[in-house]
Amino acid sequence: MFILPLTAADTLDFWVVDVEGGKAIIVRNPSGQTMLIDGGMPGFNDRDLNRVLAAAQDAGVKRFDVALITHYDVDHVGNVPNIDSKLPITLLVDHGPLLPNPKLAGINRRAADAYVAFLRGRKRLSVKPGDTIPFRDVRITVVTSNEQVISKPLSGGGIANDACPAEGPAQTRDDDNAASIGTVWQFGRFRMADFGDLVKWAEYKLMCPKNPIGTVDLFMVSHHGLDRSNSPALVHALRPKVAISNNGERKGISPEVARTLRSSPGLEDVWQLHYSTTAGPDLNTSEQYIANMKAQGCQGHWIKISARRDGSFTVTNTRNNVSKTYKK
């Protein structure tokens, strides 16, 4: 008897890993290609490395075709060389050379320098706004990179943004956050936006006076939910159905951002990697949508998303197996 081989599901799947207020996401497309978005922190007895490896095992990942490095701060890039030693990375995608920044120092400067050293002899693609990142089945368009933004709107974009203030904040730079690679993902009718740790002045540069992106279904909350990012000019213009935050217990989901998310037109739910002591009991999302309640004894549960070409997607909290499907 002839048995047809098993084929991958026709879904775009994400594993949003708990790295305690850093960032690490594993992605698998229907063709079986895999991507790592950032990698969390080094150290802490390999805490973040082990959590990425556990999620990778759940995803059936043995190597990464692409690693997208949103920017060079330690909680995003610091663990990437360690992950590569266990799960080899074929192509590294980043924003290119560091901009001159005398304030970039300490642990973030060391992480950036270590990444540059790690790049030697590796296959690298440095992207600019308007570029697409090679990954089958999905179009990933770069909309911000190295403090620059797209010059032409995407399909559905180009409309005046009523959430823009009369005057945005002044440009400031003391880290690499403003240089973050921001991307818009298109998988059939499903759309997702992820801007790394893009800060408010760069958000305004992108989104004002016109919104060049249009709307999205899923928003990966920027900068762990800190109020240096996530302005209404960005969030309210995107009108996501769902927002997912890679916050820690004591890092992220500030009260200001919690209110911005809750008041965003059309938002149905916020999902969090951690209960946020910063937000407090009144501004955290529902407990059923929080993957880790306390840092002490934290098991590092992740949030999984499975998106379908018809625009629907399912979000699952692996702590309690609560799932919810959102329709287009």
CA of residue 85 relative to chain centroid, distance: 23
* Token pair 């556990």 in the structure block, residue: 54
CB of 67 closer than 8 Å to CB of 81: no
The answer on pLDDT for 116 being more than 60 is yes
Distant-in-sequence, close-in-space partners of 179: CB < 8 Å, separation ≥ 6: 71, 72, 95, 98, 99, 145, 146, 147
- Give domain status of residue 262, yes or no: yes
Q: How far apart are CA 31 and CA 7, in angstroms?
A: 9
By C-alpha distance, which of 235, 98, 266 is closest to 164?
Answer: 235
Query: What's the pLDDT tens digit per position in 271-304?
Result: 999 999 999 999 999 999 999 997 677 889 999 9
pLDDT tops 60 at residue 132: yes
Quick one: DSSP state of residue 45?
Answer: G
Task: Let me know if residue 327 belongs to a domain.
Answer: no
Chain center to CA of 161:
23
Q: How far apart are CA 128 and CA 275, in angstroms?
A: 35
CATH of the domain at 294: 3.60.15.10
Q: Three-state SS across 188-214?
A: CCEEEEECCCCCHHHHHHHHCCEECCC
The chain-wide mean pLDDT, for the chain, equals 94
Sign of the torsion angle spanned by Cα atoms 207, 192, 126, 173:
positive
Over 90: is that where the pLDDT of 225 sits?
yes
Domain count, the chain: 1
Range of the domain at 30: 12-321
Distances (CA, A) of 299 to 114, 273, 278, 293, 325: 29, 11, 20, 10, 25
pLDDT at 295: 67
With cut-offs at 50, 70 and 90, classify the pLDDT of residue 174: confident
pLDDT at residue 238 in the model:
98
* pLDDT value, residue 236: 98
Where does the pLDDT of residue 8 fall: very low under 50, low under 70, confident under 90, or very high at 90 and above? low
Residue 264: Cβ-neighbour burial (10 angstroms; 0-12, 13-18, 19+): buried
Confidence of residue 6 (pLDDT cuts 50, 70, 90): very low
Q: What is the mean pLDDT of residues 54-64?
A: 97
* pLDDT (average), residues 94-116: 90
Asked if residue 2 belongs to a domain, the reply is no
Instruction: Assess if residue 153 is contained within a domain.
Output: yes
Residue 107 has pLDDT above 50, yes or no: yes
Helix (H) or strand (E) holding 46: none
Q: What pLDDT is stored for residue 4 in this prediction?
A: 38
Six token digits for residue 110: 């060391």
- The region that residue 302 occupies, defined by phi over 0 for left and psi between -120 and 50 for alpha, beta otherwise, is beta
Question: Is residue 74 included in any domain, yes or no?
Answer: yes
Whether residue 1 lies inside any domain: the answer is: no
5 domain-assigned? no
| Residue 326 belongs to a domain | no
Segment 190-215 mean pLDDT: 98
Give the per-residue pLDDT at 277.
Answer: 93
Instruction: Render pLDDT for 251-263 as a digit per residue (tens, 0 to 9).
Output: 999 999 999 999 9
